[in-house]
Amino acid sequence: MLPTMFTNPRSVLLSAAFGLTVAGLSGCRHLPESPLPEPTPLMMAAPAPTGAAPLSTNALAGGAAVTAPHSTNAPTARPETPVAATNAPRGIGPTTNALAAVEGDDDAYDQIRLLTKTLMIIRANYVDESKTSYKDLVHAALSGMVQSLDPYSQFMEPTGYRSLKEETQGEFGGIGIVLGVKDGTLSVVAPMEDTPAFRAGILAGDKIIEINDEKTDGMSISDAIKHLRGDKGTGVKVKILRNNHDIKEYPLRRDVIKISSVKGARVLNGGIGYVRITQFSEPTAAALQEAMEKLAKKDIRGLILDLRNNPGGLLLSAIQVSQMFLKKGTVIVSTRGREGTPAGPTARATADHPFDDLPMAILVNAGSASAAEIVAGALQDNKRAILVGETTYGKGSVQSVVPIEGGNALRLTTARYYTPSGRSIHDKGIEPDIVVPLSPEEWGEVVSKRNYDENPELFADKEKPPKYATTVDRQMDRAIDLLKGILIFEARR
């Protein structure tokens, strides 16, 4: 059974509408190139937005609990049958082989006995008894265990699980930034548009050094999210390091973050269509299809797809978007799990679309991550689009979100994804075909002008700032010139 990226029937309808072979790539071992399997756990291909918490699953359901009196003597008897997963999706969860005793330090039962003995010592002796409930200690142990794997894996309690599901469905509460870890430091992958962080001027690449005067050294993404999330109207202070020398503090007021993932669809001069995807969530593919149909009625001759500062999102959404511009049977993305396991799943376009031969340019920058990199890599490798801008973020791992008992969930890195040519972009990013760098100051002006142009209702009573008349988006201009050149060349053939 292949886990999918959604847990509700809407995902099945979306998948059917776009004729997908693959319900979602999760790092599970097998993906038949056949009709959609039934949906199971949510799959992510992106860093967690602020306020999200990883999902826990039933991967450990059925395990026997060990109890002991308040003493330092932990039980030593081993159960006769190793604990096995009962509700985990295929390829995820412990197996009898995985839990069987092995030689040396990895003897499963010796290590479990050590954990249990330590827990009982804490229960019996720690000075503050209010912090020693079984739930608190076990959840802390689980969080630390998963956090030690990588910055993106996470044990989630019920509130965090609910937050993540809200996020992928297009609405949640917080300040509106997507977090990652870069060079060992908590960093902003990208601010979400029309959010407190975006309006305050926080930029992709900013390193978060303090939250509410608490230093973030050693702070996990999940812990940072807990600090940044909160009720609408409440305040939070974020101190950032920019360009490794400028320190800025932003007092922010939390808000409900409503995500509109497809924006700015319009026709530029020369009959070039333009559309921007801000992130990949459940509604993205349907919204893009609608935008493209409207542009097609205006007889566009080429298309600029803007993925700058798109932090990623759902893998299934990236596949759905990619196949709109690819011919049937074209490889979009594949995944590979741990060494020694069967080859991971491969997603292919399963239907022809009216946009599969439209000349395209894709705008990318350092804030383009994960699912955005899947789309960029698929269209670049298949020679369907020319990438313009700057090297992307380089987040090429896939997280499977597996619900477990008690409303908890586990968000676990189960695979890395690869572009159609076999490239792994993890920690490397995707190099654009045409490099056009923008300074932070230039990018800030581009974003400000774009926000003004796309949201005139927000500035109805304000005069357009004079600087916008001279603001130039050099990456956009280069993409327009490129497509015009292609159209001229094709017309002369």
Query: Which listed residue (261, 370, 397, 400) is catalytic?
Result: 370
Cross-strand pairs, 263: 276
> Can 370 be counted among the known catalytic residues?
yes
Alpha carbon distance 371, 363 (integer Å): 14
Query: Which listed residue (239, 395, 449, 484) is catalytic?
Result: 395
Element containing residue 413 per DSSP (H, E):
strand 409-418
Which candidate, 7, 56, 4, places its Cα nearest to that of 35?
4
Strands 331-336 and 302-306: unpaired
> Can 381 be counted among the known catalytic residues?
yes
Amino acid at 290: E
Alpha carbon distance 127, 121 (integer Å): 11
Alpha carbon distance 148, 152 (integer Å): 10
Which distant-in-sequence residues (6+ apart) come within 8 Å of 477 by Cβ?
none
In the block, tokens 């995807």 appear at 277
CB atoms within 10 A of CB 215: 11
Alpha carbon distance 459, 455 (integer Å): 7
Residue 369 tokens read as: 């991550």
For residue 321, count CB atoms less than 10 angstroms from its CB and return exposed for 0-12, middle for 13-18, buried for 19 or more: buried
Amino acid at 159: T
Query: Which listed residue (261, 381, 397, 484) is catalytic?
Result: 381
φ, ψ of residue 332 to 5 degrees: the values are -105, -50
CB atoms within 10 A of CB 169: 15
3-class SS at 394? coil
* Catalytic annotation, residues: 370, 381, 395
